[in-house]
Every structure is written in structure tokens, then in C-alpha cells.
């Protein structure tokens, strides 16, 4: 699988994260914004974003969602 040169990949990820931060009011946490170690981890918290969630036998709405994106050296391929 091809890989981007590491300096290009770092710059691309820094630009992509900066763009997301500018365009959203949600929490974006990057443990290492220099992307000096792989895999890179990005934690995201969405607030005021309705989505279904199952609680027992009922489906209700939850407004806060958290997820983690792990980016490997092979990104974006």
C-alpha cells in the first residue's frame, strides 16, 4: 500500500484538523497536534447532535456523542 511522505501527511492532517475546528462548535481533541507518533488519535465530542440510542427496550434520543478516530501511517489510502 502506498504512503504519503511523512512531512506531507503531517501537514495534511494538521490542515484537516484546523479546518474541522474552524467549521464546528464541537469539541475536537488531538493528543499530539504535531502528529509525531503513529497511530495518531483524535477524540471528538458532538454536542446538541440528536441521534437514536437504545436504552433497554426503548429507543430514545441522545444529544452528546463521543468517538475516537485512530489514524495510521497509511492514511489516506
pLDDT at 26: 86
Q: Which residue segment(s) compose the domain that 66 sits in? A: 6-71
In a domain, 13, yes or no: yes
In a domain, 54, yes or no: yes
User: Residue 9 is placed in which grid cell?
Assistant: 501527511
In a domain, 29, yes or no: yes
For β-strands 58-71 and 27-30, DSSP reports them as unpaired
Which ranges of 24-70 does DSSP label H, i.e. alpha helix?
none
User: Residue 72 is placed in which grid cell?
Assistant: 495510521
Give me the mean pLDDT over the 39-43 stretch: 93
In a domain, 53, yes or no: yes
- Structural domain tally of the chain? 1
Give me the mean pLDDT over the 9-34 stretch: 92
pLDDT at 50: 93
Amino acid at each position: 500500500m502506498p504512503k504519503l511522505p511523512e512531512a506531507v501527511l503531517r501537514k495534511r492532517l494538521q490542515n484537516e484538523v484546523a479546518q474541522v475546528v474552524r467549521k464546528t462548535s464541537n469539541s475536537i481533541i488531538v493528543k499530539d497536534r504535531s502528529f509525531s507518533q503513529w497511530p495518531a488519535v483524535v477524540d471528538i465530542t458532538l454536542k446538541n447532535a440528536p441521534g437514536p440510542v437504545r436504552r433497554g427496550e426503548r429507543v430514545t434520543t441522545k444529544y452528546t456523542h463521543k468517538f475516537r478516530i485512530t489514524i495510521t501511517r497509511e492514511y489516506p489510502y
